[in-house]
């Protein structure tokens, strides 16, 4: 509505109590002394040559009312662009509030300048509104079809007091919670219905009514105005309306119980910018895996994704099945291109928590950070980039099967069932790519497209530019060393004990000449050479030496054993050189017993023992022995020196004769036993030939001694001559040499 009008425009309006010609309006303006007053102004665009405009508030009352009636428009209040959405009112209540505010604003504009009392202005405005003579938008007329003076005054008061939301009214909300089924049996019926649809969301109104009859009977108790009433079970239609209201009012709770994945994706609280403190490359990586939404000629693959949070760079690795080796290959690829990260976030999948993966992280000084179970939001960046890959690359690939079962069915339905009958998946989905070809396409997409695409999380900077702008030092690892750390371990845990035969792995012995027997080692296998392994200290922090299997390496075992003995001998000699010198020093000094006794003397307490009470013990035999001994030591007839010397010579001669006789008897027994053994050795030889048995070799004698020793230890009877021979033979140098060879070669030496 135009507030300032010229004389020509006023005449054209033909208002009551106003002239209808331009000249008449000019004369009226002169009579009212409006020209030159505050209620008149020069017409915009005039150069001082005349022409004035006056405000419509200078019109007579009837003319003002008529003019506003023709041009006043009730408009929707303008909401500020940055205003937060009002969630305290329903959509219906918000429309009701806006309509009432529009009416109040129109009345205030209508009243401005009218020389009438408030009651008269309200009466005129409401009358004009109700007869439809005001220019009102249809949406306002639909919400407020009629207007009373009391309602207009109440709305003005609420607006003046700042109670804007009090103007909103939703009849449905006012009746909410007062339905028969919502209040029946003290709310127990409504609670039971809610539990039913939470337990089985597909129950219909008919099903719910039947189950309520089973639970509460055919009647319900309701309370109206304090009076309890028993009513029959409502019809199915009432249950349908009640179920609709329950599903709407308890939407979040029902989704949480019936569809946890949807709740987590769409309704669960989620933080924004939780990783904004990650600003440097390789400060934090996230890795995850997902099946590719496309088939290959060798089956469906899983794609492993790694994203650097600070730069949003990505690395991808295909694998037929989820396994720790795929994680290792992904890490190798990313480390060689980006460097070593500080922290890597994964989920709790078996391929990520495997010992091989954790051992790799430990070896590279990477801190693994496993997210909580069933909490993909804790690694949302890699989840999001996998979705980007699936939707950006997937539809372009031959063999695309869709992102869901619904998509797959839609792709299949492009052909009729008759056309698909007997077709393979490869034909149905036009599969043509191999795994390596798909890997190349993914790598090219990440390198040429994704890393050069502006990223919203980087303030529209590309991942490539973000990485190039960083000046943070990058930790790199030599490719050969990284490959060694990625080698598979021996067995399940890689732990072995070195023996004299080396390290036993999968039934084969790997010789370790530079590692002494008894050493506990951690073993990695060379995937390119089955005959070679690498031995480390148990914690993997020290390389101890190579382990070679002659059978798998194509090396002659005897050559390898000879070389191993030489290396082992040099190693042992080097390690025992100082020890031998110390042993010589000990041997040149005083005997060990003297040293021990000297220490004991120093430690002995300086205490004189008290005399002990003694008592002579005697028996007839003891007395006779004492008498004989006294006669020998103190003879009654002492011998002269010559006789004593002759007596001593006689005793010595008798002793020599006794010893000679004893040795002769012993030698005779040994000779007889030797003859018996020789007879047994030659018993199988024919008597009428000149075949002569070879003398017994050193190895045969050692074998006989070893057998005798086993029989003695088993407490089996042994001929005295054999036992006597064994005692002397075990002290010989031949026995010690044979025993050393037996120790080196094992029991196979005796065969």
User: Do the domains spanning 273-397+433-468 and 493-571 agree at the CATH topology level?
Assistant: no
Measured between alpha carbons, how far is 27 from 31 in angstroms, rounded to an integer?
A: 6
Q: Which helix (H) or strand (E) holds 195?
A: helix 188-199
pLDDT at 48: 47
Task: Please tell me the least confidently modeled range out of 387-391, 411-415, 539-543.
Answer: 411-415
Which of the 8 DSSP states describes residue 264? I
State residue 83's pLDDT score. 39
Q: Is 547 exposed, middle or buried (0-12, 13-18, 19+ CB in 10 A)?
A: buried
Least confident stretch, 215-219, 683-687, 732-736: 683-687
In this predicted structure, what is the pLDDT of residue 85? Answer: 47
pLDDT score, position 195: 92
Residue among 209, 382, 392, 403 nearest 309 (CA): 382
pLDDT value for 305:
94
Highest mean pLDDT: which range of 122-131, 285-294, 616-625, 734-743: 285-294
Whose structure tokens read 């009312």? 65
How many C-beta atoms lie closer than 10 Å to residue 475's C-beta?
15
pTM of the predicted model as reported, rounded to 2 decimal places = 0.49
Q: Which residues of 147-182 are buried (b: 16+ CB within 10 A; e: fewer)?
A: beeeebeebbebbeeeebeebbebeeeeeeeebebb
Residues whose CB is less than 8 angstroms from the CB of residue 137 and which lie 6 or more positions away in sequence, other chains included:
73, 74, 75, 76, 102
Residue 301 scores a pLDDT above 50: yes
Task: State yes or no: pLDDT of 120 exceeds 90.
Answer: no
* Least confident segment among 51-60, 527-536, 541-550, 663-672: 663-672
Cβ distance 303 to 292 under 8 Å? yes
For residues 747 and 449, the model is more confident at 449
Residue 84's pLDDT is 43
Residue 393's pLDDT band, with cuts at 50, 70 and 90, is very high
Structure tokens, 93: 């209540």
For the chain, the distance separating the N- and C-terminal CA atoms, rounded to the nearest angstrom, is 124
Q: 């665009």: which residue's tokens? A: 45
What are 497-515's pLDDT values in tens digits?
Answer: 999 888 998 888 898 888 8
Q: Which band of pLDDT confidence, cut at 50, 70 and 90, is reported for residue 633?
A: very low
List the domain boundaries for the chain.
4-71, 91-172, 177-265, 273-397+433-468, 493-571, 669-679+692-750
Q: Region 171-192: what's the mean pLDDT? A: 76
Please give the Cα distance from 10 to 19 (Å, whole number).
Answer: 8
Q: Helix/strand/coil (H, E, C) string of 459-508?
A: CCECHHHHHHCCCCCCCCCCHHHHHHHCCCECCCCCEEECECCEEEECCE
Q: What is the mean pLDDT of the chain?
A: 79
- For the CA atoms of 375, 380, 382, 388, what is the dihedral angle to 10 degrees? 120
The whole-number average pLDDT for the span 33-43 is 69
**pLDDT given at position 632:** 47
Which has the higher per-residue pLDDT, 591 or 447? 447
Q: Is residue 49 over pLDDT 70?
A: no
Q: What is the pLDDT of residues 306-335, one digit of tens each?
A: 999 999 999 999 988 778 888 888 998 999
> What average pLDDT does this structure show over 536-557?
80
Q: What is the mean pLDDT of residues 388-407?
A: 86
82 pLDDT above the threshold of 60: no
Q: Which residue has the tokens 């099945």?
A: 321
pLDDT at 115 over 80: no
Domain at 4-71, CATH class: mainly alpha
User: Sheet of 520-525: strands edge to edge?
Assistant: 495-497, 520-525, 532-536, 543-548
pLDDT score recorded for residue 235:
93
pLDDT at 72 over 80: no
Q: Are 314 and 392 in contact (CB under 8 A)?
A: no
| Three-state DSSP class for residue 16 | coil
Higher per-residue pLDDT: 677 or 235:
235
DSSP state of 56: G
Map tokens 């090396």 to a residue.
555
pLDDT for 165 beyond 90: no
| Torsion, CA 546, CA 550, CA 554, CA 557, rounded to 10 | 130
pLDDT band at 78 (very low <50, low <70, confident <90, very high): very low
Distance CA 319, CA 257 (A): 35
Residues 180 and 165: beta-carbon distance below 8 Å = no
CA dist 68 and 59 (Å) reads 11
SS (H, E, C) 592-660: HHHHHHHHHHHHCCCCCCCCCCCCCCCCHHHHHHHHHHHHHHCCCCCCCHHHHHHHHHHHHHHHHHHHH
Query: How far apart, in whole angstroms, are the C-alpha atoms of residue 528 and residue 514?
Result: 22
Q: What percent of the chain shows pLDDT beyond 70?
A: 77
- Nearest 5°: the CA angle 609, 610, 616 is 115
Distance CA 622, CA 630 (A): 12
Task: CATH number for 273-397+433-468: choose from 3.30.420.10, 3.40.50.150, 3.40.50.1820, 3.30.470.20.
Answer: 3.30.420.10
Nearest to 68 by CA among 57, 79, 53: 57
Structure confidence at residue 609 (pLDDT): 60
Contact between residue 535 and residue 546 where contact means Cβ atoms under 8 Å apart: yes
* Stretch among 76-80, 219-223, 581-585 having the lowest mean pLDDT: 76-80
Residue 196: CA count within 13 A, CB half-sphere? 23
Distance CA 98, CA 95 (A): 5
User: At what angle are helices 149-160 and 91-111 packed, to 10 degrees?
Assistant: 100
Residues counted in the chain: 751
CB 548 within 8 A of CB 523: no
Confidence of residue 584 (pLDDT cuts 50, 70, 90): confident
Whether residue 735 is predicted with pLDDT greater than 70 in this model: the reply is: yes
Q: What's the whole-number mean pLDDT along residues 657-673? A: 61
493-571 classified as CATH 2.30.30: yes
Highest mean pLDDT pick, 126-135, 416-425, 602-611: 126-135
Residues whose CB is less than 8 angstroms from the CB of residue 477 and which lie 6 or more positions away in sequence, other chains included: 335, 336, 340, 364
């Amino acid at each position: 509505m135009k507030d300032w009008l010229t004389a020509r425009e006023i005449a054209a309006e033909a208002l009551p109590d106003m002239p209808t010609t331009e000249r008449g309006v000019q004369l009226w303006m002169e009579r009212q002394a409006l020209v030159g007053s505050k209620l008149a102004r020069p017409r915009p665009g005039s150069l001082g040559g005349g022409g004035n405009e006056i405000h419509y508030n200078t019109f007579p009352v009837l003319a003002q009312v008529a003019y506003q009636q023709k041009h006043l428009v009730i408009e929707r209040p303008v909401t500020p662009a940055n205003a937060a959405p009002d969630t305290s009112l329903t959509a219906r209540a918000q429309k009701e509030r806006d309509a009432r505010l529009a009416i109040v604003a129109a009345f205030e504009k209508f009243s401005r300048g009218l020389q009438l009392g408030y009651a008269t202005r309200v009466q005129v405005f409401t009358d004009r509104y109700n007869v439809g003579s005001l220019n009102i938008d249809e949406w306002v007329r639909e919400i407020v079809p009629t207007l009373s003076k009391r309602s207009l005054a109440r709305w003005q008061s609420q607006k003046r007091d700042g109670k804007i939301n009090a103007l909103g009214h939703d009849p449905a909300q006012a009746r909410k919670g007062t339905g028969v089924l919502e209040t029946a049996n003290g709310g127990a019926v409504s609670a039971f219905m809610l539990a039913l649809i939470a337990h089985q969301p597909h129950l219909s109104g008919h099903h719910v009514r039947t189950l309520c009859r089973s639970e509460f009977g055919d009647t319900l108790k309701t309370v109206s105005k304090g009076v309890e009433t028993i009513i029959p079970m409502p019809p199915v239609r009432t249950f349908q309306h009640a179920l609709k209201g329950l599903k709407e009012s308890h939407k979040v709770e029902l989704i949480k119980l019936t569809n946890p994945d949807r709740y987590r994706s769409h309704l669960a609280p989620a933080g924004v910018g939780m990783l904004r403190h990650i600003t440097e490359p390789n400060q934090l990586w996230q890795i995850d895996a997902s099946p590719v939404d496309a088939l290959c000629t060798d089956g469906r693959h899983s794609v492993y994704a790694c994203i650097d949070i600070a730069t949003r760079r990505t690395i991808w690795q295909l694998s037929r099945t989820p396994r720790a080796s795929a994680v290792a290959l992904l890490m190798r690829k990313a480390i060689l291109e980006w460097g070593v990260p500080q922290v890597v976030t994964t989920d709790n999948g078996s391929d990520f928590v495997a010992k091989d993966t954790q051992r790799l992280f430990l070896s590279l000084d990477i801190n693994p950070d496993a997210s909580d179970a069933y909490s993909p939001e804790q690694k949302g960046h890699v989840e999001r980039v996998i979705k980007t890959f699936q939707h950006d690359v997937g539809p372009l690939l031959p063999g695309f099967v869709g992102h869901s079962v619904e998509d797959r069915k839609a792709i299949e339905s492009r052909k009729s069932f008759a056309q698909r009958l007997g077709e393979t998946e490869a034909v149905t989905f036009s599969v043509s790519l191999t795994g390596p070809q798909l890997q190349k396409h993914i790598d090219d997409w990440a390198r040429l497209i994704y890393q050069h695409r502006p990223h919203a999380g980087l303030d529209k900077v590309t991942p490539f530019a973000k990485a190039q702008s960083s000046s943070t030092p990058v930790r790199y690892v030599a490719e050969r060393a990284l490959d060694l750390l990625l080698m598979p371990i021996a067995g399940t845990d890689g732990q072995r004990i070195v023996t004299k035969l080396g390290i036993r792995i999968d039934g084969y012995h790997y010789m370790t000449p530079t590692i002494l027997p008894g050493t506990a080692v951690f073993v990695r296998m060379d995937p390119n050479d089955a005959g070679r392994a690498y031995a480390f200290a148990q914690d993997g922090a020290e390389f101890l030496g190579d382990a070679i299997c002659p059978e798998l390496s194509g090396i002659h075992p005897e050559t390898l054993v000879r070389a191993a003995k030489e290396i082992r001998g040099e190693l042992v000699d080097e390690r025992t050189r100082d020890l031998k010198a110390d042993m010589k020093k000990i041997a040149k000094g005083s005997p060990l017993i003297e040293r021990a006794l000297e220490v004991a003397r120093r430690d002995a307490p300086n205490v004189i023992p008290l005399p002990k009470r003694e008592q002579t013990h005697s028996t007839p035999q003891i007395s006779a022995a004492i008498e004989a001994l006294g006669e020998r030591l103190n003879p009654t007839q002492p011998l002269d020196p010559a006789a004593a010397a002759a007596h001593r010579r006689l005793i010595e001669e008798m002793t020599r004769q006794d010893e000679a006789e004893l040795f002769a008897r012993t030698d005779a027994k040994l000779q007889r036993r030797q003859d018996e053994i020789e007879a047994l050795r030659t018993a199988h030889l024919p008597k009428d030939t000149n075949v002569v048995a070879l003398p017994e070799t050193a190895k045969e004698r050692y074998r006989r001694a070893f057998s005798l020793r086993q029989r003695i230890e088993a407490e089996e009877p042994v001929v005295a001559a054999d036992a006597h021979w064994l005692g002397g033979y075990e002290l010989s140098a031949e026995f010690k040499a044979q025993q050393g060879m037996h120790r080196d070669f094992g029991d196979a030496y005796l065969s």
